[in-house]
Structure 1
Amino acid sequence: METLDPKNRFLWKETPAATASCFSSEEWSDITEELQQWETNIRMNEVKLNGSSTFCDDADSVPAIRCTNTLQESIRSEVKKHKMSSVPRAYRDWDRFDVEKECAKIDECDTNPPAVITRPAPQDIKHSITSTALTDQEKDALACREKDKGNKSFRSGDYKEAVICYTRSLSLVPSAAAFNNRAQTHIRLQRWSAALSDCQMVLQLEPDNVKALLRRATVHKHLGHLQESHDDLRAVLLREPHNIEAQKVLMEITETAAESHQQKHRAGRNLFIQEFEDPEIMTNTHNTESPNRDGSENSVSPAPAPTTELTRPSEHLLLETRRRSPSGPRRSVPISEVEDEEGDEDQDCAVNQPFVSLQPSNAFEFGQVLNAACAHGDLLTCAELLRNIPSERLPQYISTQLHGQTFSFIIKTLNKYLRSQPQLLYEHMKHLQTAHRFSMVLMLLDAEDRTQLMEIFQSLSVVQTQAFSPDDVKSLANKYI
């Protein structure tokens, strides 16, 4: 083991501490002399250091050494002065308390407030970044970094800086995410027009962006455009039926529209009353009540008719006035109703029209909703109506409403909004061709309607599902086209 591993711990041997008996007399005397000489040198050096001053001239200006005995003693004394005693004060200490002096100190602090430390204003950040010498990859990386800065500023509540960061990101690479985030920041700052323009840009890049639709609906709501807000919310709910925020905003818009409609109906009719004299009555009165002194009546020429008349009263009111004035002239007071502007009524009707039951229980309710949507061209309402009814009841509900215009409107709705649900679209098309008067209406379709039908069946033929096969789609298409 010694040859293989000389330093192995199993080879260690315990050696006792050396004592004077372990050394010879000469070795022990040498060790003792060296220790005595070292101790003498240390004492001499300490005496020299204590006798000499480290700072010759500036000894008074040098601060006290940290953690020296004198400094510690002064600190302890100050702490003892300010330390509150746990024992209650005696009444004699309260007699020594000078109230006026303490009040003077408080007044002095109020008149001389401490200086406020103000930081210098930050430099203005440029709203754009020059990207002439950057590659596409560098632009993307820099735009992503600026967008992340904007997200951090938005989370911290600094919305103005977030707008600047998003603008810098868009100056490099325009993206739907940056436009969308900047729109939300404008909404927090209540900049409605800027938020609306950013939402429009997002929808140009991504027409099915749910966040942009929801934010545009919020902007329209604050701008008072209830109909536009309602349309955007319906589009959101068609794509995400369980969107809680969209449902909440839609309920608020519905309540606002209902309140405005009730307030308008509570207001009575405005009556415009104008007082003027009837020239014919005044003329007859002068003819009958101005005789000469000799008993003969003067011939008085009738008064000229007025050239302009502000408000023409109704004949009934004039006749009643003449019948009830046998003794003398009376003034005619016409009363005319002042109707509200047609634009406001149309706007209220347009806002209140979509708020109908979209889950009909019979053909009458289905016909009411379908006719209202068709009259206003509201494809979203028709799409939600078709989503809420079973396919097998569609022929029964539509049998009394099926004509060329209604059928064309339904085909456009199915092609635009129900292509995302191919199984429901196929079931509706399958049961729709069994409706009454279907063959007659089919002959009245124009080229645009047939194009819509071709697009529907082309989208269904591409879908791979177990509900129907391409042969089923082909056979169904032959019944339409």
Structure 2
Amino acid sequence: MAGTSGNNGNDRSSLKFQGFLDRLDGWGDLLNENSLNLPDKSSMASSSRTIKEQQGTSKFAPEKILNYTGLGYPSLSHDEAVPDAASEKELGNEYFKQKKFKEAIGCYSRSIALTPTAVAFANRAMAYLKIRRFEEAETDCTEALNLDDRYVKAYSRRATARKELGKLKEAMEDAEFAVSIEPNTQELRKQYDDIKALYMKGTDAKARESPLISIQESKVAKEASKESVQAVMNRRNEAKESVEDLASRAVSHFSSKHTKNIVVPKSAYEFEVSWKALSDDCHMQAHLLKMISPTSLPQIFKNSLSASILVDIVKCTSTFFREETELAIAILDNLTKVLRFDMISMCLSQFDRTEMRRIWNEVFSAEAVPMDHVETLTRLRSKYLHE
């Protein structure tokens, strides 16, 4: 019986250890990355003791983590703590402070494998920037923003990566969005100004390199314009088309040409970039808004809806409220389901609050609104105006 008891104990230990191995499944690929380049055991043990002293109350030392890599350290006993995502990230931060960026990348990778977080991705991106692996840094920042699309550090670091990759326009957009989130941060403003200067310098240089081409293109455009005008006049004389018909045709052609380039946004960042790009065309902004399913608005904006964008959307919705009342009401209703909506609407500036009240009084609360929508609009008015 004693032997049997001992065997049962061994079986339980084996099962417990097997469960531990299962938790580490998938780490092999991370640890076999050529970028890890871990030092020999003696230097690593010395470095890990230094990190342990700095961590103070850490649950485990770096040599315990390296124990899982198969580098020959004594086995971790069953009653000792197993590293978790937060601890791996903290250890990565310690390596980063010591400028051991490849080791830090290894720790952040294990943290991400356990529990992906925006901070872990952004931290690994910063380590990649330090060793000039800009494509990996850009990818990690994008992953971070997929998890938290208002994470300023991810925008700033992706702007740096894209600048180094020569993607100046995209880098400038990232830096500008970071400034829009934290307008009082001087470092972000400086980054945006520097990238914008590089982008403008590159644009000017291209223009200077091909002045003859620009002149020729200008001449061709003018000739085409003359031919277009003449063709319109001829058609007008022949078919006696009205000016209104011609204008309608031109608008339809312009809309069909530019509508193809609009992509349905999946995040607040994508929406704001597209919205600002169409800032001089209310018709196209309305088209962008109509492309989005109203029920998806809370998921797109999450906790990232800004007061300025809220007011803009309400203004835009008012332009097609009479023609598409149900769609407009659905948009207004689903916006109230965005996280922090009540706080945003309560903290509008005096100017925006006045503008919002004017729109509700002149459009959404007009006598022409069908009776079956009055109750819903009255409820929404209280949410938008807090009256």
How high is the TM-score relative to the length of structure 2? 0.46
Larger of the two Rg values belongs to structure: 1
* Structure ranking higher in helix proportion: 2
Q: Which has the higher contact order (CA 8 A, sep 6+)?
A: 2
How high is the TM-score relative to the length of structure 1? 0.39
